[in-house]
Structure formats: C-alpha cells, structure tokens
Amino acid sequence: MIPSKTTLESSLQVSKWQKCPLLLDSEEMAHLFETLSPFYLVQTSGIIKPREELIEPAVFLSHYQLYIESLKQGQLPEEKIMRQYFSVVMTTDLSSIYTFAIKPDQELVKVQYPVVQLQSHRFDYSVADEKFRSMGLGAQSVLWGIVFSYPQLYQDPNFQVFSTTDQTKFPNTRLFKQIQTWMRRYTIATPFEVNGKITHVPIRLGKKCLEWINYHPQLQAKKLRVIPNTQDK
C-alpha cells in the first residue's frame, strides 16, 4: 500500500542523473520487465483519482507494443495516448512515494526518496555540426523509446547529502543497476550512417529492432539510416 500524508512536503532534492535512453522492440521491453520484476509503475504527474496510482506492467507493455507497431509500419505513434504511460516512475519500494489528498476524489502522488524515472525519449541530429543530441525537444526530433533515469545524489530534509550507492538506504539503486546491466547485454550503441560515414551514437537500440528500424518515418524524413550489420558496441 502507498503511504499517505496529510501535509504536502517539499519536493525531492536529487542531482547528477544517470540516464539509459533505449529504443526496444516490444518483446525486448517485456523481457526487461520480466528481468526487473517485481516492481511498481506509479503515476506521479498531475492530479489522479484514488486507487489509480499504479499502472500494471502488462498494461504498460500493451501500450508500448502499439507504439512499436506504429514505427514498424512507418507511422508515428499518437503521443497523447502514450504520455500517461511514458511519464511514470518505477520503484521496488512503495515507501519511496506517498499520496496527498486534494479532495475526496483527487490526489497527488509525490516522490520522497530516489526512484527510477521514465520519460518519452527523443533525439535530434544537427546537419550544421553533424551531431546527435539526446532529448531534443524540437517538433522534428525523433521518437526513440524511453529514457530511464536515476540520481546519484540525494539531499534529505535536513540538508544532508547522500550518495545513492548505498542499496540498503536506497533500494531503487539495485533496480537501476539491473537496467544498466540488461542494457549492456541486449542493446547496442546505435550505428547511424550519415553522408556515407558510420557513427555509433550512445542512444541505445535493442538488437531485435535492427530488423525494422529503418522503417521509422522520422529517420526516413531526416535521411538517417541504421546499419544493421555493424559490430555490436
């Protein structure tokens, strides 16, 4: 059960985020979730109704599959539908969050200890300086799965700063390390071909995506191509 509080506390103070930007095939995302299980997916953005805080992993995966199927067919996913599911937090410990009632039928979910944050991930490519930039926010930036983020430093209400390496104090550290380990094993630094040159970009790509990634409509629009037969990095 998620703890509830009668007062709204100050926002979580964390810094030095580590990030894992991943575009995975739907089968790969399901395998990642199976590897990480058990965990909770929690809505923390905006006002929600009581007992709607948790998103079942199976529900998340069904929407993620729709996202991937759109890309496979050369179409852009409907971002409005995905936003609810791609802007959540992941935690193995529900005491990392709490609820605060605004009205009998409305509440906020707040984070009080470090959790893994999920966000829709995009990147952009600049022709001017020939550079790829993760989390590009322009209208033409390329949809590229999800970025998993976790802070390295935490400041408590008494202004003491702690490293999150202590897994006893910060149980979600182990969860994020599992994501990093899985990422290194099952994904590659994306090998883009631009103007005849191959560049391995740190945004990660699931190996099963190599079969269809060049159908991605925004890659085609930007004349970017992934080279499937390059050596895994």
Q: Which DSSP string corresponds to 91-109?
A: ES-GGGEEEEEEETTEEEE
pLDDT confidence of residue 140: 79
Is residue 147 within 8 Å of residue 119, measured between CB atoms?
Answer: yes
pLDDT confidence of residue 225: 93
What are the phi and psi torsion angles at 47 (to 5°)?
A: -85, 135
**4 part of a folded domain:** no
**129 part of a folded domain:** yes
Q: Which whole-number Å values give the CA distances from 53 to 66, 109, 114, 214, in the listed order?
A: 22, 7, 17, 36
Interval 91-111: pLDDT, tens: 999 999 999 999 999 999 999
Q: Which parts of the chain sit beneath pLDDT 50?
A: 233
**2 part of a folded domain:** no
pLDDT confidence of residue 100: 95
Distance, in Å, from the CA atom of 70 to the CA atom of 39, rounded to the nearest integer, reads 27
pLDDT confidence of residue 230: 55
Q: Which whole-number Å values give the CA distances from 32 to 1, 118, 159, 184, in the listed order?
A: 24, 14, 35, 12
Interval 106-152: pLDDT, tens: 999 999 999 999 999 999 988 778 788 887 767 778 999 999 999 99
Distance, in Å, from the CA atom of 193 to the CA atom of 191, rounded to the nearest integer, reads 7
**232 part of a folded domain:** no
**169 part of a folded domain:** yes
Within the chain, what is the greatest distance between any pair of CA atoms? Answer: 60
pLDDT confidence of residue 143: 94
pLDDT confidence of residue 167: 93
**177 part of a folded domain:** yes
Distance, in Å, from the CA atom of 202 to the CA atom of 21, rounded to the nearest integer, reads 8
pLDDT confidence of residue 232: 52
Distance, in Å, from the CA atom of 25 to the CA atom of 100, rounded to the nearest integer, reads 36
pLDDT confidence of residue 144: 95
Q: What stretches of 73-200 show up as alpha helix (H) in DSSP? A: 79-86, 172-186
Say how many domains are in the chain. 1
**1 part of a folded domain:** no
Element (H, E) at 32: helix 26-36
Residue 45 lies in domain: 9-226
**167 part of a folded domain:** yes
